[in-house]
Structure 1
């Protein structure tokens, strides 16, 4: 019997994440305006009844080399849950992805962004989404030689009371955007 409410909470959290992505996509181009896109994504999550927890954000200016990417993903970002090592796997997945030809564009284009979401349980057994967002753009002061890397890492938990109060609005907004998304 308890599995159904837990599965329903996961579905609700997933719906909020999808709604936030669709609303951000309607407002900003994620590849060309990644920072504002991500801000809109977070604002939409909060408006839907999702609590953002243990957020880490960092910006780095650098000369783009593989060594810099190795340093960035070597684990400086603390995981939202100390006992869970899933984030080490996420970082290694991203490092592996950067070696793939299709993601190597991250090192050579003027703007790029990547988001990875994992689902897990928090210490109380509630569903949580762990969001890792990376946005890369040319440094405005040295656009030909330097890049600026923005990293965001946070947990997103459904605030059941806040979500239930606005459930119908979330469902209507999601349905409207899903209809547009299918065109």
Structure 2
């Protein structure tokens, strides 16, 4: 068997993340059902040989103020979380939505799901993904004044043995999604 190029573990990790996202997209609407979408995404990762570790989950029911979002963005989540400007934009959209008289506008800006994936190396030099997910929804009892923020942060590492056992199946599934994109 030929030696794989040095980039292969990164490509394999990217392929697994992409396949899990495509599977979750097919099962759930990410913007309307963000938490179920994310759970499906995580299950898809585990099913194809990704080990999830050091998961931190937090649910915050709040009046969305600058102070609340500042706590989120300043890193209550443990390392290796870094500041993320996309989430600051989401916060501003939510705060602006609360000022609008039309509830439909508020729902469109606050019922949302945001996923960020960064890449790094573990202590052994193996590639890993750092996953940060924010799901935001209006509080059904107080939709004009309160939101629920569901935050998840974790590491994801490829189990190479489990992946190799499924490599052909994973590549075929990715190709099938690719073929669908052609239409």
Same fold? TM cut 0.5: yes
**Counterparts of 1:13-162 in structure 2 under 5 Å?**
13-79=13-79, 87-88=81-82, 91-94=83-86, 96-98=88-90, 104-107=92-95, 108=97, 109-110=106-107, 111-162=111-162
Question: Is the Cα–Cα contact under 8 Å of residues 55 and 154 in structure 2 kept in the other structure?
Answer: yes
- Mean Cα deviation higher: 166-175 or 140-149: 140-149
Post-superposition offset of 1:138? 0.9
Aligned to 2:177: 177
- Structure 2 unaligned segments of length 5 or more: list them: 98-105
* 1:72 positional shift: 1.4
Runs of 4+ in 1 over 4 A off after TM superposition: none
- What SS is found at the alignment partner of 1:55? strand
SS of match in other structure, 1:174: helix
How big is the shift at 1:98? 4.3
Out of 60-69 and 106-115, give the one that drifted further.
106-115
Pick closer, same or farther for the CA change 1:95–1:133 going to 2, 3 Å: closer
**Contact 1:130–1:153 under 8 Å retained in 2:** yes
CA distance in 2, matches of 1:32, 1:96: 20
The runs of 5 or more residues in structure 1 that have no matched partner are 81-86
1:168 aligns with 2:160: no
TM-score, L = length of structure 2: 0.85
CA contact (8 A) 2:64 2:94 kept: no
Cα RMSD after superposing both structures: 1.9
Shift in Å at residue 145 of structure 1?
Answer: 1.7
Q: CA deviation at 1:17?
A: 0.4
Structure 1 residue 93 displacement after superposition: 2.7
Contact preservation (8 Å) 2:73, 2:88:
no
Aligned counterparts of 1:115 and 1:95: Cα–Cα separation in 2: 10
Larger radius of gyration: 2
